[in-house]
Amino acid sequence: MVWWLQVSNCRLGGSRRKTLRHAAVVALVLTACGACAPLPRYEPRAARSSLGCMRNALEAQRPLPEQDSQAHCLAAGLIARHCSITEAWLASVAKEVADLFGPGNAEWRDLDADGRGIRCARSATDDASLRACCRSSDAP
C-alpha cells in the first residue's frame, strides 16, 4: 500500500491532497466489499438480495417473542446469522426511522436490543441458541 501511495504521489505531480483522497476512496471501496460478509457458519445465505435475505431469515422463526426487546434481539440476531452484521444494523436503523415517521415508537432501547441480538449471533451455534441468548440477556 505504501508503494502504491508513492507511485500515485509521483503520478499526480506531488499533490498530497489528491493522493489522500484517492487512498480514502480505495479504502472505502475495499471496506464496502466486505460489508455484507456473513458470519462464519454452515448454512447458506437466506437469499441473494439484502431485503430477501432479511425477510427469509425472519420468516423461518415466526412467531417472534411477544416482548418487544426480545423480538428486536432475535430479529437482529437472525439477520446477522443468516445474512450479515451490516444488514442487521441496516434493518435495525431502518425500522427505527420508519417508527419515527410512521405509526410506531422510535426508541433507543430498541437499538440496544438489536445490538444484543447481533452480539448473541456472533456466539450462537444455531437459531435455538440465539433465541436462548436473547431470552437470557434481556434486561428488565
Listed residue (25, 80, 82) closest to 57, CA to CA: 82
Per-position pLDDT tens, the chain of length 140: 444 444 444 454 556 666 666 566 555 554 554 555 555 554 667 677 888 888 888 887 788 888 889 999 999 999 999 899 999 999 999 999 998 898 888 889 999 999 999 999 998 988 899 999 998 876 55
Which residues lie below 8 Å from residue 18, measured CB to CB, with a gap of 6+?
12
d(CA 48, CA 98): 24
Distance (Å) of CA 132 to CA 60, 80, 136: 16, 16, 6
CB 64 within 8 A of CB 74: yes
